[in-house]
Amino acid sequence: MEDQVYAMPRLGDKAPAFEASTTQGKINFPADYAGKWVILFSHPADFTPVCTSEFMTFGKMQKEFEDLNCQLVGLSIDGLYSHIAWLRTIQEKIEYKGMKNIEVKFPLIDDITMNVANKYGMVQPGESSTSAVRAVFFIDPAGIIRTILYYPLALGRNFEEIKRVLIGLQTADNFNVALPADWQPGDDVIVPTAGSCGAAKDRMEGKEGEMHCYDWFFCTKKLSKAEVESKLGK
């Protein structure tokens, strides 16, 4: 039988819809999350070390993501009983880098059929045909995919970068700006060129504030950390 070919979701696409069983009950995705940001992420397998270190980190940071109006949803090609046993082991037995008694409260999808993993292009056969790669989908409150990250099986994700991406997307949306390399809240932001949507109007109305231009196509302005924080999670 020929392998079935699945379309990979792209940036700007609507998040593919599905219903699934999770460690927190059934979910109807993305409808249940309307009005919130969601990070939908996959891991290769329960009871594996890199995934355990990642889950402990995400579990520890869950409140930080919720404070940004963002819900976490995990997935692997394992069944519900495996998920439950693994999360219990993490909470009861694993102490790692100062993290212990970590209770993972966000849903972990049972995707033993690979239905969701295939819809989201999480199974990448060159890397593994029996498990999902480490994918991270950032989905906005309107259900649109805004950023996708893929990591291989052998490399754990950087969770500060995942949080920075979320803050960056919310900042770009709220302030109509772009963000330069390695941007962190409080750093200068890029003013879109005059021809781009919204920017011309802002310039004509004198709303741009003081700019520093490196050339005609590259202008930045200040945006304080306090201003950014006042809009995050909104």
Rounded distance between C-alpha atoms, residue 117 and residue 9, angstroms: 11
Q: Read off the DSSP letter of residue 14.
A: B
Looking at the Cβ atoms of 37 and 86, the one nearer to ligand BEZ is 86
CB of 124 to ligand BEZ, least distance (A): 13
Cβ contacts of residue 4 below 8 Å, gap of 6+? Answer: 118
**Residue owning tokens 């291989």:** 152
Residue closest to 47 by CA, chosen among 9, 83, 14: 83
Q: Which of 51, 70, 197, 219 is catalytic?
A: 51
CB of 133 to ligand BEZ, least distance (A): 10
Rounded distance between C-alpha atoms, residue 40 and residue 183, angstroms: 23
Looking at the Cβ atoms of 121 and 168, the one nearer to ligand BEZ is 121
Is residue 51 annotated as part of the catalytic site, yes or no?
yes
Looking at the Cβ atoms of 51 and 199, the one nearer to ligand BEZ is 51
Looking at the Cβ atoms of 22 and 76, the one nearer to ligand BEZ is 76
CB of 134 to ligand BEZ, least distance (A): 8
CB of 11 to ligand BEZ, least distance (A): 26
Rounded distance between C-alpha atoms, residue 99 and residue 56, angstroms: 7
Rounded CA Rg of the chain: 20
Structure tokens that stand for 13 in this block = 């696409």
Binding site for ligand BEZ (CB under 6 A): 44-45, 48-51, 153-154
Rounded distance between C-alpha atoms, residue 26 and residue 34, angstroms: 16
**Catalytic residue list:** 51
